[in-house]
Homo-oligomer: A and B are copies of this chain.
Amino acid sequence: MTGAEVLLRTLVAHGVEVCFANPGTSEMHFVAALDRVPAMRGVLCLFEGVCSGAADGYARMAGKPAATLLHLGPGLANGLANFHNARKARTPIVSLIGEHSTRHLAYDAPLTADIATFAAAVSPEIHRLESAAAIGPTAARVIAAASRYPGRIAHLIIPADFSWSPGGPLGEFTPPEPPPRPVVPQLGGAGNWGLLLGGQTARGRGLSLAARLAAAGWRVFLDRNAARVEMGRGGFQPERIAYFPGPAQAQLAGLTDLVLLEAKAPVSFFGYPDEASYLAPADCRVHELATPEQDGLAALEALAGHLPPASWEDVPPATPPPPGPLTLDALGQAIAALLPPNAILSDEMVSSGPPVLAALRHAPRFDYLPVTGGSIGQGLPVAIGAAIACPDRKVVVLEGDGSALYTPQSWWTMARENLDIVTVIFANRRYQILDIEMRRTGANGFGERASAMVDISTPPLDFVKLAEGLGVPAVRVETAEAFAAQFGAAMRRRGPCVIEAVL
């Protein structure tokens, strides 16, 4: 049995059953071993950023890691931006990186590079395989490192000769360690108390418990960097911390105490000349009840489990928008009205987000997967991973036009795997967030040359042709009623499609 086959069998024995791959020569024995280990699903991506983003989306929904398989330093490099997002999401990922054979490494061949330095930028967990015989036990350690709560990227660098040489024993199964339960002091009482939900507390039981505290007078917020959040009517919907400092400070104004659950104290996305980076009031006491590495749900049980189950005023369901121009409000209303229950939304709307998310409070309950590290180009790949983790759930990607162009190769994999993913492109033909950011940074009075650098209308992008060129059917719509008709139809059938919504 080759080292590559031992590796695959060790992965599968630990529940790592999907590998998002863009392989090259040094990974050919891993690819060959796929024939002999049918329990491993290899998913081919045409660009490495699709692999890393898909692995992030998979683990957020499956609750366990997928593997990525990338080709030496430069292949890893192309995956790093979405690994950065996965690092901020605290997602478990087993990152397999092929390396030159040990003998060949002595020569400075063209693809030779310092893989460990590339890898270090997104994770300190860098394991270099030292022999073919060690491949099983080493892989088991890497999987365990990735899976330690809440999760992280763990790299395994695999010289090609250790893949093609006979491997040793399979790695013994190591069950993932449970997160430590924090000690919970008595909290609440006098003052103006707030609760910030992150990690696993931003959904399910966490939200039910938080609703009890809300009923008892607490103000409850969602960490805007939480990797997976439950939203929509039928459940408790706390406010999500806003993007810009002013509105976020207004949300948190007056708090005397803020309790953190698997979340950090809110900070603004960017720093601006005359605005705050730290968003809570200066005199607000901050209580880190559970760090991101601790069991925040257990802490929340201790804090709120004794309170009576709470009810809250639910919002009414949405109705489709009236015929008319295709505004962001109309888009949001249509999506909220037509989304089936239990959908998954991957959000990379950027500037288009706020009105759409406001409308989506009226949608049936859904899982929401935001961009956690601010690196654009994860919306489409994350949807791939989510769809593979949850094949029976509808996945919708809400995607800016500028954002879509970082990893458009994702559409090809959606078509190849026939994934049930509907992409909505918000085609405003600008890096519109930068229009806004320009003014905030004090860079006023933009002239023609500067303005051109945020204008992506020349030449116009044709997303229908782009998606069709990558194998996915697509339509363009320009009115509210056309959008509702196309989005509704997409909700009723299965398979990938793209709707270019011209704003």
Would you call A333 an interface residue if the criterion is a C-beta within 8 Å of the partner chain's C-beta atoms? no
What chain B residues lie within 8 Å of A78 (beta carbons)?
49, 78, 80-81, 377, 406
Q: Of B38, B120, B433, B469, which one neighbours A461 at CB under 8 angstroms?
A: B469
Bound-state CA distance A22–B99 (Å) is 30
Asked if A303 is at the interface of the complex by the 8 Å CB criterion, the answer is: no
CA distance A453 to B108 in the complex (A): 28
In angstroms, how far is the closest chain B Cβ from the Cβ of A187? 24
Contact B453 A44 (CB under 8 A): yes
A349 sits at the interface (CB 8 A): no
In the bound assembly, the distance between CA atoms of A134 and B372 in angstroms comes to 34
In the complex, whether A470 has a CB less than 8 A from a CB of chain B is yes
Q: Do B460 and A471 have beta carbons less than 8 Å apart? A: yes
Question: Which residue of chain B has the shortest Cβ distance to A265 in the bound complex?
Answer: B107
**Which residues in B have their C-beta under 8 angstroms from that of A268?**
104, 107, 109
User: Which A1-38 residues have C-beta < 8 A from chain B?
Assistant: 21, 23-26, 28-29, 31-35, 38
The 8 A CB mask of A31-68 against B (1 = contact, 0 = none) is 11111001000101011010000000000000000000
| Contact yes or no, A277 B466, CB < 8 A | no
B452 contacts A462, CB within 8 Å?
A: no
Segment of A306-314, A443-451, A479-487 engaged in the interface with chain B: A443-451
Interface residues on A, range: 35 or more
Residues from chain B with a CB closer than 8 A to the CB of A189 are none
**A462–B371 CA distance with the chains assembled, in angstroms:** 30
If A49-B78, A267-B109 touch, does A461 touch B121 (CB 8 Å cutoff)?
no
A442 within 8 A of partner (CB): yes
Judged by a CB distance under 8 angstroms, whether A364 is at the interface is: no
Say if the beta carbon of A225 comes within 8 Å of chain B.
yes
Chain A residues close to B by CB (< 8 Å): 21, 23-26, 28-29, 31-35, 38, 42, 44, 46-47, 49, 72-75, 77-78, 80-81, 84-85, 88, 100-101, 103-104, 106-111, 113-114, 117-118, 120-122, 160-161, 164, 225, 264, 267-273, 277-278, 371-375, 377, 402, 405-406, 408-409, 412, 415-416, 433-434, 437-438, 440-443, 445-450, 452-454, 456, 458-472
22 residue pairs A–B, Cβ–Cβ below 8 Å:
A24-B434, A25-B437, A26-B270, A29-B443, A34-B450, A34-B453, A72-B374, A73-B121, A80-B118, A84-B113, A103-B271, A108-B267, A109-B267, A110-B373, A111-B269, A113-B373, A114-B121, A161-B271, A412-B461, A465-B468, A465-B469, A466-B470
